[in-house]
A and B are shown apart, each in its own frame.
Chain A
Amino acid sequence: MSKRKENLLGIAMVMPSFISLLILVIWPVMISIKESFMNGEGQFSFENYIYVFTEPMMLNNIKHTVVVTLISCIIVLFISYFIAIYLRFTSSKIANFIRKTYFIPMFVPGIIAIYGFINTYRDNGWIARLIGQENLPVLMYDIKGVVMMNMWFNIPFTTMLLVSALSAIPDSVIESAKDVGATKLKIFWKFIFPLSYKTMLVATTFLFMGIVGSFTAPFLVDSNAPQMLGVSMQQHFSVYHEFGQASSIAVIMFIMSAGIGYLYIHSMMKEEK
């Protein structure tokens, strides 16, 4: 097969996914960007963005979204990394049990998990009945509840990513380091962390994008105000029927995700050089 033919074949094989991406993702994104720059009469204007960046309610929503996302990302990353390290270097019965079960939350449908959470942690739910209502911190209709829900949804996948990254580190590296007398902490900082740092970046990107745009958990578990941007966007769209404002919120969420995506790609390219 000639080089040119090969090229054409390659393009033809990419086409189906590219076209579906174009129709299902890029086209709607373009429409909402266009809509975000239109006022009620369909003319070009910045009023939707002025609204989003001057209205105190919206500013609080943006701040709230960033705070929830950052806190959730940090906690999830920390716990997942801890589990992954534990699973990589231990082979006890408990470790094996965790290895077999840690991804179960991924198979529980989101809405069912959320209702399960509500029934377990609400003010007179299962936990409150066990330990007494006054001993249970307020979790429902609160930022703490949303963060806990994000942990449930994201820890399994993040752990999976990190476990595979850590198992790619050959035992020989660690053993030879041990042989020359490196402490455990030193092994971690000099070998394990640098070798799994790239995967952590990938995980952070996935985490951030997933949490910034989440809807169901914040809708059912979060407080009435401030809201996360996904909830606020739905409200502007289907309750207030302010399509322009809803679109501009969508664009802002898109830019936030794109920013993290850029950081990720940037660091990847730098390493390749």
Chain B
Amino acid sequence: MYNRVKKLAKKSAVLGMTGLFALSLTACGSSEDAATTSKESEQEKTEISLYTGGSLNVKEFWQEVIPAFEEEHQNIDVELVFLPAGQGGQSTMDRLIAAKKANKDSEVDIYEGGLADIVVGEEEGLFTELNESNIPNLANVKAENLEGTNGLAVPHRASSVVLAYNSDVVKEVPETPEEMYQWIKDNPGRFAYNDPTTGGSGSSFVLTTIYNQLPPEAMNVQDESIMEDWDKGFDILSELDSYMYREGVYPKKNQGTLDLLANGEVDIIPAWSDMALEQLDKELIPENIKLKQLTPGFTGGPAYMMLADNGEEERTEAAETFLNYVLTPEVQETVVNKMYGYPGIEWEFLDEEMQKNFESVSGDYRIFNGGKLGEEVNKRWQKEIASQ
């Protein structure tokens, strides 16, 4: 009896094993089939990669735009390569340059960067020329944003630094930088800008204070000789120091000053328009916070998209399709609604309602194009102003 059971168990085990083996074989076959078919359909697809970086809102923006684009263009696959702020935005440029020198494919198709990247790209011949024949929607782009791109980039969105103020307290909002400096002196301890080495809004305050004392075209000078002319601006900054929040405390990061404003510890700060608008919308800062641009304004500027010149025609064409798509009103509305950025195309192509939300910050910003001089400003600020 016992033996029979044992035999049966053995038999069934063998049977079971064979069955399993057979099953797994067929499973293998079918999965192989699936792999080949999907490969075939992938071969028709053109894969392009988009290299970008910055804050989280940039990533969220692309994560919304790319699927919508792929839906519309089934034959194109866009891969997003996102490098968070301060973690090697430079490396993408280095990669492009290295690939160009070695005459190799950089595998970067589209690169989102700043004005300085265009200057480098032009010197090294990294980017494909863009015009209305390959990017038809370029015709709708704001003309002033195209300045300085030399036909190598698409300015698809922008943001700028503005004044953010507590409207319950500040009744007469400064209109010009001079009025702002006067306000700071009249209201000691009620103004703060963040440590310029830690965020763009404080950096913009420092830069505009220095360059307001110089002729307008000085903002484009990249020669170090201009550093001697900064003295007047630094004198103002050092004079203002004792009128700042707690007689010269500069919080870290753009969020640091926004927190002070939200908590009512100060009444006016410089802030990024997109950051402030987004937080107002999400009610992270109270409603009584209002925004305003000065004349002449703080610095700001567009973000640009460049097309890397890889010599791969198929991918270049796909990338052009993508750039054109980014300039459509639908995507531009996403720029306004999700990123709280300035659209790249003229307002007339967009909803009027949207424009109203932007009225408060619609003044003109200026573009600082001093390249590496920005670092020098920060160094001097740390030595002279922070240690006061």
User: Which A residues contact B (CB, under 8 angstroms)?
Assistant: 55, 57, 60, 122-124, 138, 141, 219-220, 223-226, 235, 238-241
User: Which B residues contact A (CB, under 8 angstroms)?
Assistant: 86, 195, 197-198, 246, 248-252, 263-265, 375, 378-379, 382-383, 386-388
Contact status of A224 and B249, CB under 8 A, knowing A60-B387, A124-B263, A124-B265: yes
Contacts of A60 in B (CB 8 A): 387
Of all chain A residues, which has the CB nearest B388? A225
Contact status of A235 and B387, CB under 8 A, knowing A141-B251, A241-B375: no
Q: Which 7 pairs from chain A and chain B are nearest by CB?
A: A225-B386, A225-B387, A224-B386, A239-B197, A141-B249, A224-B250, A238-B86
Of all chain B residues, which has the CB nearest A57? B383
Contact status of A239 and B378, CB under 8 A, knowing A219-B252, A220-B252, A226-B387: yes
Contacts of B198 in A (CB 8 A): 239
Contacts of A57 in B (CB 8 A): 382-383, 387
Does the CB pair B265–A123 fall under 8 Å? yes
A247 to B274, CA, bound (A): 35
A138 to B86, CA, bound (A): 32
A-B contact pairs, 26 of them (CB 8 A): A55-B383, A57-B387, A122-B263, A122-B265, A123-B265, A138-B246, A141-B246, A141-B249, A219-B252, A223-B249, A224-B248, A224-B249, A224-B250, A224-B387, A225-B382, A225-B387, A225-B388, A226-B387, A235-B197, A235-B382, A238-B86, A239-B197, A239-B198, A239-B375, A239-B378, A240-B378
A226 to B378, CA, bound (A): 15
A238 to B86, CA, bound (A): 7
A207 to B249, CA, bound (A): 28
Distance from A9 Cβ to chain B, minimum over Cβ atoms (Å):
39
A241 to B372, CA, bound (A): 10
Distance from A119 Cβ to chain B, minimum over Cβ atoms (Å):
9
Does the CB pair A240–B379 fall under 8 Å? yes
A211 to B329, CA, bound (A): 53
Does the CB pair B195–A224 fall under 8 Å? yes
Contacts of A235 in B (CB 8 A): 197, 382
A60 to B386, CA, bound (A): 12
Contacts of A240 in B (CB 8 A): 375, 378-379
A226 to B387, CA, bound (A): 6
A45 to B252, CA, bound (A): 33
Identify 4 new A-B residue pairs, CB closer than 8 A, beyond the known A123-B246, A223-B249, A225-B382: A124-B264, A138-B246, A225-B386, A239-B378
Distance from A26 Cβ to chain B, minimum over Cβ atoms (Å):
24
A238 to B264, CA, bound (A): 31
Contacts of B264 in A (CB 8 A): 124
A57 to B381, CA, bound (A): 11
Contacts of B251 in A (CB 8 A): 141
Of all chain A residues, which has the CB nearest B195? A224
